[in-house]
């Protein structure tokens, strides 16, 4: 996406050339139909850029020349800008709960991707899928049961950043194991619903292909 100014001003998102901790922010932009500068940093360029960032890591979001960092801060800010953060304090808290829980667990999900020895990688994936994943999926499905409306979204009868976070989480799990979420049909259905939204489907179809 190119640069532009709307719904709050001029936006520039800086992250590595991958999905990772920058992808939910990109999904927020896609869902809202808001243009932004999608700055993708190659690893070779990172040492020179790192000292110029607020805390020495990415993502960094620049809004009208002012910088924000920390993934969840960026995601929450954009969600608030674009009407994706609920309609009352309880909805906001539930959205935040989902986002924070998934952010904590995603670290576990991505660690095996960096293991080079294949047998060790297989064992690490098996441990996550069999011992850690069931608890978080039970939490997400319970959350769906408690909050689901006829719309099929987490809160408020409409799309929120919680749904976008779950959508990306399912994508991340797919990289970990092609069968990891087969039995979690409620989560699969929610993810499919988000993925079928025209703006999201268009973004996913056209986004840069990266391994993770």
DSSP string, 23-57: HHHHHHHHHHT---EEEEE-GGGHHHHGGGSSSSS
Instruction: Identify the CA nearest to 74 among candidates 26, 4, 9, 20.
Output: 26
- Give the mean pLDDT of 167-175: 92
Residues of the chain with CATH 1.20.1050.10: 89-197
pTM, two decimal places: 0.91
**What share of the chain in percent tops pLDDT 70?**
94
11-83+200-206 sits in which CATH class? alpha beta
pLDDT in tens, 180-192: 899 999 999 999 9
H or E stretch including 154?
A: none
Residues of the chain with CATH 3.40.30.10: 11-83+200-206
What's the confidence (pLDDT) of residue 112? 85
Q: Which residues contact 158 (CB under 8 A, 6 or more apart)?
A: 151
pLDDT level of residue 8 (50, 70, 90 thresholds): low
Q: End-to-end CA distance of the chain, in Å?
A: 19
Per CATH, which fold does 89-197 belong to? Glutathione S-transferase Yfyf (Class Pi); Chain A, domain 2 (1.20.1050)
């Amino acid at each position: 996406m190119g640069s532009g100014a709307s719904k709050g001003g001029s936006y520039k998102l800086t992250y590595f050339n991958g999905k990772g901790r920058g992808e939910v922010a990109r999904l927020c932009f896609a869902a809202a139909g808001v243009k932004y500068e999608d700055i993708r940093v190659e690893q070779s360029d990172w040492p020179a850029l790192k000292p110029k960032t607020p805390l020495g890591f990415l993502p960094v979001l620049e809004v009208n020349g002012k910088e924000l960092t920390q993934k969840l801060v960026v995601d929450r800010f954009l969600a608030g800008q674009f009407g994706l953060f609920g309609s009352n304090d309880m909805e906001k808290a539930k959205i935040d709960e989902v986002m924070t829980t998934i952010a904590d667990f995603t670290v576990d999900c991505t660690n095996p991707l960096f293991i080079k020895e294949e047998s060790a990688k297989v064992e690490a994936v098996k441990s996550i899928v069999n011992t850690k994943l069931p608890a978080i999926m039970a939490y997400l499905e319970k959350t769906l049961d408690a909050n689901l409306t006829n719309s099929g979204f987490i809160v408020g009868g409409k799309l929120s950043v919680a749904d976008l976070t779950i959508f990306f989480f399912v994508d991340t799990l797919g990289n970990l194991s092609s069968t990891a979420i087969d039995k979690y049909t409620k989560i699969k259905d929610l993810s499919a619903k988000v993925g079928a939204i025209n703006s999201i489907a268009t973004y996913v179809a056209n986004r840069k292909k990266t391994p993770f």
